[in-house]
Amino acid sequence: MQALLDAAQRDVVARVADLATSRFAPRAAGYDESATFPAEDFDDLFAAGLHAPAVPVQYGGLGYGPYTDDVFTLWMMTKEIAKADLSLARCWEGHSNSQVMLAGMADDDQKARWFEGIVERGDKWVAWSGEPQARTPEQKGRLGTIVEPVDGGYVVSGTKVFATSAPAADWALLLVNTAGPGGARHAEGPVESILALACQLSDPSISFDASWWNPIGMRATVSYLVNFDGTRIPREQVIGYPGQYLKEGWQTCFIPHYAASFLGAAEGAYEYALDYLKTQNKGADPYVQHRVARMALNVETAHLWLRRVATLWESGEHDEAQRIGARARYVIEMLAMQVLDDCIRACGARCLNRPSPVERLYRDLSIYVRHDNADQILATIGKQLLGQPHDPSFFKP
């Protein structure tokens, strides 16, 4: 896939790949087992000058993003990270997606303040919407936040879940709803009721419930339940105008970014399988040959889809980029899941025996692809083609 990048892009991606291979991959099993945030990995990214990928160049960052002339390098950085550790990639995505949002929605004073924190001090950011409203059978109370306007800002009370990097991040971009609980993803009501608020997570009114997070995979994302006990957000920390996140389709910038992580998991499994099968001299088996070929074709196809979407963003064809981005997200989920399946069928049971990285990738990918619902993504693509109204951000039915 080197041919898809120019020399300067290759250099940046190679630096990430080096770190991923030498530092992140060896630590991944430990973070997964203890379900702890990959703090040392973030320290390494900061020390290597790779911590501010989507902070504009004039603020000291690398300047990548969908509204610049280069988003593909960012996605390939993410892919390399995901190959080593999909949980780390989710934390990294949240951090870099927040930078994209600040670059596009924050005012100049906000940018100067928050980008300095990222570039100079290594501040970590996240973006949190998750407030699912449908209860699970075992769920006791209702999830979600209430947002009240007060003199000089807003007060946020209640809970969010799936709050990636919760105990480790410095700042969160809260997507909340003044019309009632639901964040942005699960919101009802007018679009204008969705606000983006920057929240400093050291505020004593904020607490984290780690007991909520005991999933099959993506354990090191520490995507806890967060409780806001009357958290005050001053007006200077309100980002953009009411409803901007949905009206301008900011979520569509991040939909292919998830796919870049899925691709990383797939490529990790493919490379593992190739090495495993060669070591075991199983290459003469025609079924093995088929599965190796299909894994390679899937990985290559996924790269080409991402390159296609990136080119649309980079050339300013934003409407088309948003439309095709959903297709890429759907196709790459299918391709990646098939690669994992091929890898496991070709390699056999021992590749699912710890500490095999395939065992972790399999668990991680199986929950991470649930971040959106592939059935609803496909329905959304169908609605687009049929000229029907649809939700390009969260693919709501």
Judge whether 83 and 268 are in contact, CB under 8 Å: yes
Determine which residue in the list 9, 78, 193, 221 makes contact with ligand FAD, applying CB under 6 A.
221
223 binds ligand FAD (CB under 6 A): yes
Which parts of 85-114 interact with ligand FAD (CB under 6 A)?
90, 94
Element (H, E) at 322: helix 318-347
The correct pick among 106, 218, 238, 336 for binding ligand FAD (CB under 6 A) is 218
Nearer Cβ to ligand FAD (227/373): 373
Peptide bond into 132 cis (omega under 30): no
224: CB partners within 8 A, 6+ apart:
161, 163, 166, 167, 208, 209, 210, 212, 213
* Residue 367 interacting with ligand FAD (CB under 6 A): yes
Q: Does 373 bind ligand FAD (CB under 6 A)?
A: yes
Structure token pair of residue 366: 């199986």
The torsion angles phi and psi of 360, rounded to 5 degrees, stand at -70, -45
Per CB under 6 A, which region of 22-30, 305-313, 355-363, 369-377 contacts ligand FAD?
369-377
- Shortest CB 291 distance to ligand FAD, Å: 28
The least distance separating ligand FAD from the CB of residue 206, rounded to whole angstroms, comes to 15
Q: Decide if residue 142 touches ligand FAD (CB under 6 A).
A: no
Closest CA to 201 of 152, 164, 235, 236: 164
Using CB under 6 A as the binding rule, whether residue 167 contacts ligand FAD is answered as: no
Binding range to ligand FAD, per CB under 6 A, among 15-23, 106-114, 127-135, 255-263: 127-135
How far does the chain reach from its first CA to its final CA, in angstroms? 36
Give the integer Cα–Cα distance in Å for 44 and 23.
Answer: 8
Instruction: Pick the closer one to ligand FAD by CB: 49 or 189.
Output: 189
* Contacts (CB under 6 A) with ligand FAD, residues 294-333: none
Q: Residue 345 is which amino acid?
A: R
Q: How many CA within 13 A on the CB side of residue 88? A: 35
Exposure of 239 by Cβ count < 10 A (0-12 exposed, 13-18 middle, 19+ buried)?
buried
- Select 68 or 164, whichever has its Cβ closest to ligand FAD: 164
- Using the contact rule CB under 6 A, the part of the chain among 217-225, 228-236, 266-274, 331-339 near ligand FAD is 217-225
Least distance to ligand FAD from the beta carbon of 1, Å?
26
Parallel, antiparallel, or unpaired: how do β-strands 125-128 and 171-177 relate? parallel
Site residues for ligand FAD per CB under 6 A: 90, 94, 126-130, 132, 134, 162, 164, 185, 218, 221, 223, 367-368, 370-371, 373, 376, 397
